[in-house]
Amino acid sequence: MRVIKIEKLIMQKCIDFSSNLNFVGGQITRDGTLLLIESGLEESGLEELDFFQRPVAKHNWTIRMINGENIETVELQKVPLIPTEVDLFSDGSLLLVQSRCLKDGKYMERNARRYNPNGQLIEAFPLGDGIENVQIDETDTIWVSYFDEGIFGNFGWEQPMGSEGIVAYTMNGNKLWGASGYGIVDCYALNVVSSREVYFYYYDDFFLVQLNEKKETIRYRVEGKGAMQQFMFDQAGMIGQIDMYTIMRFQIKNRTITPKKKLQLIDEHGKRIIGPVFMRGTFLYAYGKDGVYRKL
């Protein structure tokens, strides 16, 4: 589809923020707090991180929790995993997850670790290999989506934990539910607003499905068939990120979601914001050079 228009989306600066640490990843919690994973490793060291190397080297990681004009920092020392996902439980404890998980015979790597706000380990457990997204709802249910290797098996997994594409777990890692019946080959994107509003977009049907209490309530056909990485709904329809450089505005009509135009994120002075983008619920953040911005 030929896109000829560009929509400028005004973002409001939440807070001035810059860091001498290296950005690794991030996530928005269900209440709109932005979490950033940072590392003191040199950039060259980050590039050389090998998700398949075992044992995993222990490193220190810094978690920034940005809520409005407030920033809290949690320091995690000598962590034996490379975190790709992070979220918060209702008691304030922190869940850190590594996307790759080794299975060797009966041994399963514990690639999920729960820490208290002081950075002390509470427990560790496996969530399987090939993890795409991890998000926690208000009941402390952990929703995990998987990409193809986590669904069909790799890295020692003949019976993958993620074979259903999306699985819901207790806060201790016990399975509650799986998305059987959808034939998910790769779950591209997940958006957990609450236990009554869970969205996922998957291949190879290119449906975007809404769940309420783990039961389907609606499904949309997504045109364009792009590997949308994340998305959110607003009054004008839907916003989705296609790749690192491309954010799109989508129109919703008759349960069909259609790409309409590219989006460009700008500040209140019209200057373009370049940096990582995060979406969840109705929240959209951008981490620019001089601070963190939020969709008005």
User: Do 82 and 94 meet the contact criterion of CB atoms below 8 Å apart?
Assistant: no
Who has greater pLDDT, 42 or 130?
Answer: 130
Please tell me whether residue 152 adopts helix, strand or coil conformation. helix
61 neighbors 77 (Cβ within 8 angstroms): no
What token pair was written down for 126?
């496996």
Q: What is the per-residue pLDDT across 169-196, written as a single tens digit (0 to 9) for each?
A: 999 999 999 999 999 999 999 999 999 9
51-72 mean pLDDT: 92
Q: What are 41-59's pLDDT values in tens digits?
A: 765 456 667 888 889 989 9
DSSP H or E segment with residue 150: helix 148-152
What is the model's pLDDT at position 42? 66
Tokens of 251: 């129109």
pLDDT at 3: 47
Residue 12 or 224, more confident: 12
Residue 4 has pLDDT above 60, yes or no: no
245 confidence band (pLDDT: 50, 70, 90): confident
DSSP symbol at 229: -
pTM of the model: 0.95
Q: Structure tokens of 76?
A: 């995690």
How far, in Å, CA of 209 to CA of 253, rounded? 15
